[in-house]
């Protein structure tokens, strides 16, 4: 099926958020649908705050097969679906959903693939294993909550969270015995194998070498050669954090790799099969 061969049997999936114009998800998912010869098409829908419930109601009315959910709606989607549909353990513990599916009976269900996508990207691209590692997570939003959940589910020995608002980090840490909030960033970073940034610090929509890209969520001088660093930011592809980590001799994973791995898990949730992450990465790079 080519891009314009749509008919009444074509299933629709979409990303919802605000903003969504910059999203690479349509390129990623449509590349997989074409490769797998699946009669689906994936679009981007701008959904403003206050209209999320309407977007979810539209799934059953219009037969929309699935949603990806991005900022700022992950928490609201989790809350609404927990009331009107089904959510799994990761959504219950993190209060954040990034994936929604319309079931055959018309009910909707939600999960979150961000955390496992990060873990899969790390293990696919580096020699770092999640099991028995010690991790330092920067941020305490929905992505951070999902990452912490998956790190611990995959056997991390300890997860330390650092956030500008410690209270938000405490809300995540309290769910796990082997998770705590950082009180001494320098000492905590020195003690870990893995550093993950889940904040937007370093994001530059034009991917230009200026402005916010010059920032880093942590003091880059603290990064050592034995560590692995993942930055969830993918614009620019090489953030200041990743550049400094490479210069320090650390293993690095960019945000695009995390994006394609979490997208593969979304496809598995919707379709029961997933596409090639290399294909998805190439499609994303061709549409940057």
> What residue ranges define each of the domains in the chain, with the CATH number in brackets?
11-112+263-285 (3.40.50.10860), 115-253 (3.40.50.720)
Residue 282 Cα distances to 1, 132, 206, 243, 264, angstroms = 20, 32, 19, 21, 14
Looking at beta carbons, which pairs linking 157-166 to residues 24 or more positions away fall under 8 Å?
157/132, 157/133, 158/134, 159/134, 159/135, 160/134, 160/135, 160/136, 160/188, 160/192, 161/137, 162/136, 162/137, 162/138, 162/188, 162/218, 163/138, 163/139, 165/140
Is residue 135 a contact partner of residue 194, using CB atoms and an 8 Å limit? Answer: yes
Helices 142-153 + 74-84 axis angle, to 10? 70
- Measured from the Cβ of residue 200, the count of other Cβ atoms closer than 10 Å reads 16
222 by Cβ neighbours in 10 Å (0-12 / 13-18 / 19+) ranks as middle
What are the residue numbers of the active site? 74
Rg (CA), the chain: 19
- Measured from the Cβ of residue 155, the count of other Cβ atoms closer than 10 Å reads 12
Is residue 173 a contact partner of residue 135, using CB atoms and an 8 Å limit? Answer: no
Is residue 93 a contact partner of residue 149, using CB atoms and an 8 Å limit? Answer: yes
Residue with tokens 């403003």: 48
User: Mapping DSSP to helix (H, G, I), strand (E, B) and coil, where does residue 221 land?
Assistant: helix
Check residue 208 and give its pLDDT: 43
d(CA 219, CA 60): 47
What residue spans of the chain are helical by DSSP H? Answer: 25-35, 52-62, 74-84, 89-94, 114-125, 142-153, 166-173, 185-190, 240-247, 255-271, 277-285
Check residue 154 and give its pLDDT: 98
Check residue 210 and give its pLDDT: 46
Residues of the chain below pLDDT 50: 1-3, 207-213
User: Mapping DSSP to helix (H, G, I), strand (E, B) and coil, where does residue 229 land?
Assistant: strand
Tokens of 29: 């998912």
Residue with tokens 């513990």: 93
Residue 281 Cα distances to 28, 138, 255, 284, angstroms = 7, 25, 11, 5
CA-CA-CA-CA torsion sign (45, 48, 110, 9): negative
Check residue 211 and give its pLDDT: 44
Among residues of the chain, what percentage have pLDDT more than 90?
89
Size (the chain), residues: 288
């Amino acid at each position: 099926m080519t891009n314009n061969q749509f008919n009444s049997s074509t299933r629709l999936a979409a990303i919802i958020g605000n903003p969504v114009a910059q999203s690479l998800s349509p390129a990623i998912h449509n590349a997989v649908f074409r490769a797998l010869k699946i009669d689906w098409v994936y679009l981007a829908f701008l959904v403003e705050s206050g209209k999320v419930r309407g977007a979810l109601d539209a799934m059953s009315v219009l037969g929309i097969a699935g949603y990806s959910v991005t900022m700022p709606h992950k928490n609201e989607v989790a809350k609404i679906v927990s009331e009107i549909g089904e959510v799994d353990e990761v959504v219950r513990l993190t209060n954040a959903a990034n994936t929604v599916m319309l079931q055959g009976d018309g009910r909707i269900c939600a999960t979150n693939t961000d955390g496992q996508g990060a873990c899969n990207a790390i293990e696919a691209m580096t020699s770092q294993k999640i099991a028995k590692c010690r991790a330092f997570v920067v941020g305490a939003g929905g992505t951070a909550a999902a990452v912490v959940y998956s790190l611990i589910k995959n056997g991390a020995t300890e997860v330390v969270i650092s956030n500008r608002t410690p209270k938000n980090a405490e809300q995540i840490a309290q769910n796990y015995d082997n998770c705590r909030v950082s009180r001494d960033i320098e000492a905590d970073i020195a003690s870990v194998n893995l550093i993950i940034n889940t904040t937007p610090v370093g994001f530059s929509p034009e991917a230009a070498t200026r402005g916010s890209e010059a920032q880093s969520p942590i003091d880059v001088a603290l990064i050592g050669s034995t560590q692995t660093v993942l930055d969830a930011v993918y614009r620019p592809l090489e953030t200041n954090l990743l550049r400094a980590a490479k210069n320090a001799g650390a293993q690095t994973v960019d945000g695009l790799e995390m994006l394609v791995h979490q997208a593969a898990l979304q496809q598995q949730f919707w379709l029961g099969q997933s596409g090639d992450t290399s294909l998805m990465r190439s499609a994303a790079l061709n549409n940057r």
